[in-house]
Amino acid sequence: MIRVYVKRVGSGADLSKSAYSLLDLALDKETGKGLSAYTLKREKKGKPYFEEGFWHFNISHSGAYVCCALSDAPVGIDIQTIKKISPSVMKRFFSCDVSDPRVQTRMWARYESIGKQQGCGIPHDFLENGFHFIEKDYTDACLCVCTLKKDGDVLIFDM
């Protein structure tokens, strides 16, 4: 099961704080307990996790968006506002030449979600094989959730 919460926040908002507030809201909706009921820890490479058990989570923010994913298995999430990515960055990380900003942004969101699911961040050498992606396009952003599970209950809540 994967629960994804996405919220558009006002410009100038503290995005990191807003993302953790969204995680608090998501936990409260899913468990009846907010973020304060859990002990937040970090893996060696910085991926956050809860010391107590069941939930895996990940957060992301970009532009005016914040999002979080809760899952019963390791999960990575990334949201990116649509932007043109320089040709040198595209060549460094991808083996194709794509010029459409929406496609570039979607590719970057996939790439980051893999690194976040694996807990290694970027750069990484993982290919898309073996991962399952749940994607959603917004007018000005792309959302990507990465998991190893191909099937299961996935719900996206736009707040």
Report the first-to-last Cα separation within the chain, whole angstroms: 19
Q: What does the pLDDT look like over 91-125, one tens digit per residue?
A: 888 888 889 999 999 999 999 999 999 988 887 87
Q: What does the pLDDT look like over 58-80, one tens digit per residue?
A: 999 999 999 999 999 999 999 99
pTM attached to this predicted model: 0.92
Contact between residue 154 and residue 143 where contact means Cβ atoms under 8 Å apart? no
Contact between residue 69 and residue 134 where contact means Cβ atoms under 8 Å apart? no
Show the domains of the chain with their CATH numbers: 2-158 (3.90.470)
